[in-house]
Amino acid sequence: MLDVLMKFGGHRIDYFEDYAAGISDGSAFYLRADPPVDDLYSRESKHQLYLGLAIIAASVGLHKLVGIYIDVNDLDNVNRPAYQRLKLDLLDGMFRKVYVIDSNALLGHPTADADICDLYWSAGGFEMITFENGMSKPVAIGCGSLAMCD
């Protein structure tokens, strides 16, 4: 796992064994961390991974996770490999909820915001849930919170 977190462009996608069983209320966990600058690996991605798994386990249960998608890359690069797979899996109906530690994993740059809005409409909607400050909080997409989605 650490080899993924060690360099810019690193990515990893892990599916849970039961994902093919068609979990009706399945969800995904996505994390994106900026590339490491002075460190040997991305401490941010390791922190997000452990924190996110702990919060998901305590709040909704790991049994509802379809997969974990990790990118060590810049937000404005919408061609991040794990993000691209997340989009395909969402469009294929594997899940309807995407958990992120904070919304900056997927939102916060005009290119990324526009891509998420396009995904939202293409998928017929989905929920993005953040765990900012350790609390579960839905992010409104296409409901007036993002001007380009209106």
* pLDDT score of 147: 42
What gap in Å lies between CA 37 and CA 3, rounded to an integer?
Answer: 16
Which residues have a Cβ under 8 Å from the Cβ of 49 and sit 6 or more positions away? 31, 68, 70
Number of independent structural domains in the chain = 1
What gap in Å lies between CA 33 and CA 28, rounded to an integer?
Answer: 16
Give the CATH number, domain containing residue 39. 3.40.50.1390
* pLDDT score of 48: 85
- Domain with 51, as residue range(s), is 4-16+23-149
* pLDDT score of 43: 76
What gap in Å lies between CA 140 and CA 40, rounded to an integer?
Answer: 36
* pLDDT score of 113: 92
The predicted-structure confidence for 25-66, as pLDDT tens digits, reads as follows 789 999 998 876 766 666 777 888 888 899 889 888 888 899
Q: pLDDT under 50 in the chain at which residues?
A: 143-150
